[in-house]
Amino acid sequence: MRKESSNQILSEYSLIKTSELIALLQQECDVEKRANWIRTLGERIEPKVIKLLWDLRNNMENEDPFIQYEIKLSLRKVTNDPSVGIDMFLDNLSVFQIQKKNSQAPKILIDSNILEEFLLRNKTTINQDVTKVVEWVLSDKINPYLGKNGVENLWSRVKNLRGQEYANRLIIEILSQFKVCDIDLKEIDMEKYPTVNIPTIIQIECAKKYNLDGIITLRDRDFVSSGWPYVYSPALFLEYVESEDSDLSPEFSKEELAQKFIDKKREKLSINWKEEPLKNNLSFEDKLLLFQGWRIKKFEVLCTKNDLTFATVILQDRFGKEYHTESGFKKGSINALFTAFDKALSHIVDIKHELKAMYIANLTPGKEGAVTAMVVVRHGEEEVIRIYSHENIIKAYLFVYVKAIIAVYAPHEYPQDIYEEKELMSLYKIGMRDFRKLNFSKVDLSDNEANLSESILVECNFSNANLSGANLTKADLTRANLSKANLSNANLSSANLTEVELDKNNQTLFEGTILTNTIMPEIKIAVSGRSRIDKVVQLLEQIDIQKSKCELLAVHSMTTPTWWHSDLGMYFWEVSKKYFKRYSHKKSFYTS
């Protein structure tokens, strides 16, 4: 009797429009009539009906059990219909998608592989990180986006494993949580991504089109050569957002966020930027920046059977819109690589430099040991010298050349690199003596075979360096910065210290420093006490008086000339008379 009545009701309602049925259902409170409306809607395979039944299913706690039964039955009927599939959902996104509550939260593209891991894999270590990312999505802490291709792939994968009904229900839920983004392949300039696969390119372009703040993916390595830096693995993302100082407020900067992720990576690798030269180099290799916003996108070297080498270099601008790809075909790999680089560089600047010399030295022993490369590049009347250490000899050659090029065409765009004692001594041991204008601040040569005799150290920076015991005989330190450097027991015989910048009191010059025939700069030495006077005497005995600029200053705390009649004053006067003739050409005695 009930079945016959139901069929009669369905027949009567068949002429009513769906929108009218929905309106009647929303206004109806009678259990029997509501059940009839729901049963009737269950026969209509339309997007807005499916969405309505899904919403009723998610909010049926206060419904009568009979109504709950009809909702579940009708929803199962529509989601199991053969005509209901991914095409219907994607063609009617406006029906299934809702506006997220937290509109000010960062907009993040979630790779579909994250959802695949969450939905299809059993509980594993990687699934734990993925689950937490999904929890962030569901808690409205981020605004999640999903690529259209990702939605299609996910639906197909789930359908094959668990059936169409389950896949349809899953997509309805996903569309209620994620905003789907899409881009036409015709809109993408594929030439901008010569080394990136198509799925990765689509995600990057979607992120740019929708002005997203980042991408979370299990394929973060695929994005390395894309030039788009705002890509994170689930583990790295969680490591930051779950830390005490995390900030995903509306005011956050995705550039700052990306930099924090980079810092986290470095911290995770336990990189101490002040200890090893190879580790210092990573900051440059992370981006391979040139100047004026350009960077090295990619380079490669291929050896052929006929002893020739083919090299390619790709330069990219800061916006990822312009590329310059050039190749070199030479006998040597370095020659081919430099040729390709110079040809690509010629698109940016007028080539005015000349490679004068290159040197290579073992930094650590072994076939796979690190090396230090040194390059001399002439630009006009000046020469630029740079050094670089790397475990890969080709990279050592290329990166040191790039560093020199930056110094030639953009000398003020980046700070000068700080080099290590290992690099300095390695090159010296192979006979390389010219280190002019290099930065060796804070090097410690006290425990090394610090023989830098006859080296050219013009305008080098040795501030705060420990040169105790170093052999600097005949070294040219003209205009070098030795402020706060430890020169105790150092041998500076016949060295040239013209215009050298020393610390104010030059205390370490009195601690066994050898200055025989040293060409000294103008220095001022405060004399206090008999023992200090003796040390000054020992110092002056070594200095080349004819070539150096020296002044004697008598400094005392007395306010009257009677100080000169004291024992100390008389002793100082005797010393002064001894050197008066030697300093007669520029004598100067002061009291205070």
Q: What is the pLDDT of residues 492-546, one digit of tens each?
A: 888 888 888 776 656 676 667 777 777 777 776 666 666 667 767 766 666 665 6
For residue 447, give both structure tokens.
Answer: 């425990």
Q: What are phi and psi of 528, to 5 degrees?
A: -145, 105
pLDDT band per the 50, 70, 90 thresholds, residue 586: very low
- Is residue 442 domain-resident? no
Continuous H helices in 444-528? none
Whether residue 267 is predicted with pLDDT greater than 60 in this model: the reply is: no
Whether 118 and 134 have beta carbons less than 8 Å apart is answered as yes
Cβ(132)–Cβ(91) under 8 Å?
Answer: no
Last residue of a domain, one of 55, 84, 113: 84
Residue range of the domain that includes 592: 522-592
The verdict on 80 and 169 lying in the same domain is no
pTM of the model: 0.48
Let me know if residue 504 belongs to a domain. no
pLDDT band at 588 (very low <50, low <70, confident <90, very high): very low
My answer on whether 111 and 30 are in the same domain is no
Same domain, 128 and 256: yes
CB 536 within 8 A of CB 506: no
Q: Does residue 402 belong to any structural domain of this protein?
A: no
448 part of a folded domain: no
| 190 vs 8, residue with greater confidence | 190
Tell me which of 165-169, 260-264, 482-486, 499-503 is least confident.
Answer: 260-264
Q: How far apart are CA 508 and CA 39, in angstroms?
A: 96
Q: Do 63 and 118 share a domain, yes or no?
A: no
- Contact between 176 and 96 under an 8 Å Cβ cutoff? The reply is yes
Can you give the CATH number for the domain in which 302 is found? 3.30.160
Spatial distance between the Cα atoms of 108 and 212, rounded to a whole number of angstroms: 6
266 and 298 share one domain: no
- The whole-number pLDDT of residue 180 equals 92
Same structural domain, 109 and 248:
yes
Same domain for 7 and 136? Answer: no
Rounded-to-integer distance, Cα 175 and Cα 182, Å: 14
Q: What pLDDT does residue 263 have?
A: 58
- Residues 41 and 105 occupy one common structural domain: no
Q: Which residue in 102, 97, 276, 227 sits closest to 171, CA to CA? A: 97
% of the chain with per-residue pLDDT over 70: 76
Q: Nearest Cα to 297, choosing from 394, 192, 417, 413?
A: 192
Which structure tokens are listed for 149? 């291709």
Any domain includes 69: yes
For residue 559, pLDDT beyond 80: no
Question: Do 119 and 75 belong to one domain?
Answer: no
338 and 245 in a single domain? The answer is no
Q: Establish if 30 belongs to a structural domain.
A: yes
How far is residue 469's CA from residue 167's CA, in Å, rounded to a whole number?
Answer: 76
Confidence of residue 102 (pLDDT cuts 50, 70, 90): low
CB of 206 closer than 8 Å to CB of 109:
yes
Same-domain status, 176 and 302: no
The neighbouring-strand residues paired with 258 are none
The structure tokens listed for 231 are 């890509």
**Amino acid found at 461:** N
Number of domains in the chain: 4
The chain-wide mean pLDDT, for the chain, equals: 77
Contacts of 408 (CB under 8 A, 6+ apart): 352, 353, 377, 379, 384
In a domain, 429, yes or no: no
Q: How far is CA 535 from CA 159, 411, 485, 571, in A?
A: 90, 43, 19, 13
**Structural domain ending residue among the three candidates 52, 84, 116:** 84
> For position 156, which CATH number holds?
3.40.50.1010
Q: Is residue 314 part of a domain?
A: yes
Distance, in Å, from the CA atom of 176 to the CA atom of 184, rounded to the nearest integer, reads 23
Same domain, 318 and 191: no
Whole-number pLDDT of residue 146: 92
